[in-house]
Amino acid sequence: MEVKMKIQVLKLLFLVVVVSALTFGCGGGKEQSDAAETAEKTAPPKAEKSPEMSPADLGQKIADVYEKAMTDLTEMLKDKPAVDEVQSDVEALKEDSITKLVELGKLREALDEAGRAKVDLQTRLKANSLYSSPIWEAYNDIHQHYFQEREFHKIIASFNIITQYASFDLLKKQEPEEAQRLGIQ
Separation CA 144–CA 161 (nearest Å)? 17
Domain edges within the chain:
2-42, 55-181
Confidence class of residue 107 from pLDDT cuts 50, 70 and 90? very high
Q: What is the pLDDT of residue 32?
A: 40
Q: Check residue 29 and report its DSSP letter.
A: -
Confidence class of residue 111 from pLDDT cuts 50, 70 and 90? very high
Confidence class of residue 51 from pLDDT cuts 50, 70 and 90? low
Q: Encode pLDDT of 61-71 as tens digits.
A: 999 999 999 99
Q: Return the ∠ at Cα 47 (arms to 44 and 50), rounded to 5°.
A: 135
pLDDT at 52 over 90: no
Average pLDDT over residues 144-155: 96
Answer with the residue of higher pLDDT: 28 or 171: 171
Separation CA 2–CA 113 (nearest Å)? 9
Q: What is the pLDDT of residue 29?
A: 42
Separation CA 178–CA 27 (nearest Å)? 50
Q: What is the pLDDT of residue 110?
A: 95
